[in-house]
């Protein structure tokens, strides 16, 4: 088995490493890695329904979609992530106990009352500290999970806090659980835990990425994990509703999105304007539902004539 600690903390790069190892190598593998603050959403989710977009934008938190299913998770340097890849193991897909076993055993040796709960969560005293997910490719299975050691819980709760009435979506929604940090149970750090886990695979070939592999990963990152289409795009229809008190007054935007474009929009409130608001709604219909595309359209319009005192940033804040 190839084992290594991936030193890069760029979430898009690290998820590209997983894809490279799964699709372009043929070895069993264990990779341990950490991400800077980021939100990692499941492959089948509607990103808009999983994140507090205003908070994420304000704090410049990257949002990246992964290859596996499951729910959205918050990463920071208080997390340790692990990735197992097993070849000729298609029958082990959905066997979360098999892949979680070495992690649980190391945690129990540290005095942590770790258990596998339900299908894919690791708990201590009924509180979640790890979520796990899998994907199959050919006869190979990739299993990965995150371990909360000293994650910023306030950042986690705010970044993933979406009002249930704000987004109506047909995507696969995350199930929120009570969470805890492992620092409540052990003095072990992510780096020291990584060493203990590696020690369980004494016959492992400790071999980090080569220069050629890094180039291949960078290409995957650029083509997939750096793109809006992958991280935010979805063909599932959904609706967004936002209300804000702007200098113009109280303004509400109800936006319907289909195939990543605005299919309908209604703007209402107690604002004043010279032009009919329906004209603005018509100009927004059909626009790609993405920050830059919307800003281009809003910058080209006399917004003050539709909503007195409104700026493009004002409209973006309620449209997204």
pLDDT in tens, 148-167: 999 999 999 899 866 554 45
Strands 63-65 and 38-41, sheet pairing: parallel
Q: What is the pTM of this model?
A: 0.86
The per-residue pLDDT of the chain, averaged, comes to 91
**Structure confidence at residue 6 as a pLDDT band (50, 70, 90):** very high
Query: How many Cα atoms occupy the beta-carbon half-sphere of 64 within 13 Å?
Result: 23
Question: For residues 119-144, b (16+ Cβ closer than 10 Å) or e, as one string?
Answer: ebbbbbeeebbbbbbbbeeeebbbbb
Return phi, psi of residue 121, to 5°. -110, 145
Question: What's the rounded Cα separation, in Å, for the pair 280 and 267?
Answer: 9
Average pLDDT over residues 222-241: 92
Domains of the chain: 2-231 (3.30.930.10), 238-319 (3.30.390.50)
Identify the pLDDT of residue 169.
58
Identify the pLDDT of residue 90.
86
Residue 306 has pLDDT above 60, yes or no: yes
Residues 168-222 pLDDT 10s: 655 545 555 688 999 999 999 999 999 999 999 888 899 999 999 999 999 999 9
Residues 16-48 pLDDT 10s: 999 999 999 999 999 999 999 999 999 988 898
Which residues are registered as beta bridge partners of 206?
3
Question: What's the rounded Cα separation, in Å, for the pair 292 and 139?
Answer: 41
Residue 312 has pLDDT above 80, yes or no: yes
Question: What's the rounded Cα separation, in Å, for the pair 89 and 284?
Answer: 49
Residue 220 in tokens: 């995957």
Tell me the percentage of the chain whose pLDDT exceeds 70: 95
Question: What's the rounded Cα separation, in Å, for the pair 284 and 100?
Answer: 48
């Amino acid at each position: 088995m190839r084992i290594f600690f991936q030193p890069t903390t760029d979430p898009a790069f690290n998820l590209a490493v997983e894809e490279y190892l799964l699709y372009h190598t043929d070895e069993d593998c264990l990779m341990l890695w950490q991400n800077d603050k980021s939100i990692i959403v499941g492959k089948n989710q509607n990103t808009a329904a999983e994140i507090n977009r205003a908070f994420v934008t304000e704090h410049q938190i990257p949002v990246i979609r992964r290859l596996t299913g499951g729910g959205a998770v918050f990463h920071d340097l208080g997390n340790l992530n692990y990735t197992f890849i097993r070849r000729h193991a298609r029958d082990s897909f959905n066997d979360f106990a098999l892949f979680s076993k070495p992690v649980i055993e190391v945690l129990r040796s540290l005095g942590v009352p770790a258990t596998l709960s339900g299908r894919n969560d690791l708990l201590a005293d009924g509180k979640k500290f790890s979520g796990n997910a899998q994907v199959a490719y050919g006869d190979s299975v990739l299993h990965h999970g995150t371990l909360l050691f000293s994650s910023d819980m306030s950042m986690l709760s705010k970044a993933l806090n979406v009002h249930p009435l704000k987004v109506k979506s047909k995507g696969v929604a995350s199930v929120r659980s009570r969470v805890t940090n492992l620092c409540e149970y052990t003095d072990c750090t992510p780096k020291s835990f990584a060493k203990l886990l590696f020690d369980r695979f004494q016959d492992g070939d400790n071999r980090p990425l080569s220069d050629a592999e890094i180039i291949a990963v960078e290409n995957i990152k650029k083509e997939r994990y750096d793109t809006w289409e992958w991280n935010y795009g979805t063909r599932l229809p959904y609706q967004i509703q936002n209300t804000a008190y702007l200098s113009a007054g109280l303004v509400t935007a109800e936006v319907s999105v289909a195939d990543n474009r605005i299919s309908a929009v209604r703007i209402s409130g107690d604002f004043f304007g010279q032009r009919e608001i329906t004209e603005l709604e018509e100009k927004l219909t059909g626009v790609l539902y993405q920050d830059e595309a919307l800003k281009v359209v809003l910058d080209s319009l006399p917004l003050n004539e539709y909503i007195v005192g409104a700026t493009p940033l004002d409209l973006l804040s309620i449209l997204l």
